[in-house]
Structure 1
Amino acid sequence: MNGTNSNYSRTSRKKRKNRGNQLLNIMIGLVVVLIVIVGANIFIGSKNDDSKDQTANQDAQENIEENSSENDADTDGENGMPADDEDQSNDSDVNDESTDDGGSDGSGAGTSGDGNTDEANDEDTITIVPNDEEIIDETIINNAWQPIGTVQTGDHISIYEIGTVDWDEKKKAIAYATGFPEESLIYWKIKNGGGPQKSIGIVSTRDEVEKFRVYLEWVDEKGWQPVKMDILNTLDFEY
């Protein structure tokens, strides 16, 4: 009987020992796994930190380079003009010197230059003159108007008969002054303008929105030339 109990006790102790070894092995395994996990996190975190530090260093370097470039540009602007500006300045100086030299040579050349400029400006001048007449909004004098040309030869006689060459050339000159084609105008009246070589035409667009009174003068061998035009606000007046 005692032998049986002794065997049972040894078996029981052996089982408890095996359980303890298993628990110990499990705990050791868990510790190893934890060590691996912690080590991996430390390694990955360190790598990320290195990457962030590298990116930050690159950004800082780029900012330094940009600031350096801006400072260089500012320094260049303060110390001197760019090459283009210097060229322009030199050209300006040369022009100024030329102008001064031209002025010192004598008044003849300067007067000639100014005269040509004035003539060129006068050729393109459009003068708008306020008018006190109730039927007129404004009066236009355009120095760019030219004689329209003519097929007539010899001494000119102004004719106010529909269908004649002179009549048709008057219509053409009136349309030229208004800027509208002949076929889009109504010719209300073409009459003598106070002299044998002067005429006046009263016209409007076909819808009667635009209304004009055009003054013509005859230029020998060149035809009728507009010299003045009234912008009318009504056609209700004595022609």
Structure 2
Amino acid sequence: MKNDYDSLNEGTRSRLTAKRRKTNLILNSLIIIVVLLIGIVSFNIFFSNDEGAADQNEAAAEKENAGASQGKKADSKEAEKKDENEASGKNADEESESDEAAEETKEDEEVADPIVTEGGSDANVKQTIENPEWKPVGTTQSGEHNTVFDQNAVDWQEMILAYSYATGIDKNNMTVWWNENGGAPNTAVGTISEKGNDQTFRVTIEWAEGEGWKPVKVEELIQNDKR
């Protein structure tokens, strides 16, 4: 009987041992599976975070580049607009200067556009020059005017200025051949030429009260009749 009982116990222990081993194997397998699942989940979470961060960084970089590009475009447009404004202002200034110069030239042309006719008051006159734009040359004299044909008088010197103004001959390079009364009070006639030049002019002037002597006409002579 003892041997049968011992055999039964050993069989029972063997079954229990086998069952525990099977249970342990299942538990170990489950643990391994759980660990693997945890690892896979952790990897996915970590990888997703990395990709999200990379995407965010890439998006931020693209946004920054786009902002920089827009800033450059804005700066470029602003610079172009500034250049256009400067060019426009420069062109406007040049046009204004050109208009002013043209206006001055026009005024000069109007002042310097004399009326020239053939002949004159006698047979020795080649041509007569008159200009309605001639102005009095100014004066330092005051009070009642008296025509004075004296080379040392102020009145004489102002006559010479009027002759120079009418003919364009510098008073310091002028030969005065004759200076006399023009046939009426406050008038004078001078025969002049440029030094070293045979071209001779007879200039008629008249006194403008408070303004000085004013040219009336210039006659270019065929020959100097006062030499």
User: Normalising to structure 2: TM-score of the pair?
Assistant: 0.49
User: Between Structure 1 and Structure 2, whose CA radius of gyration is higher?
Assistant: 2
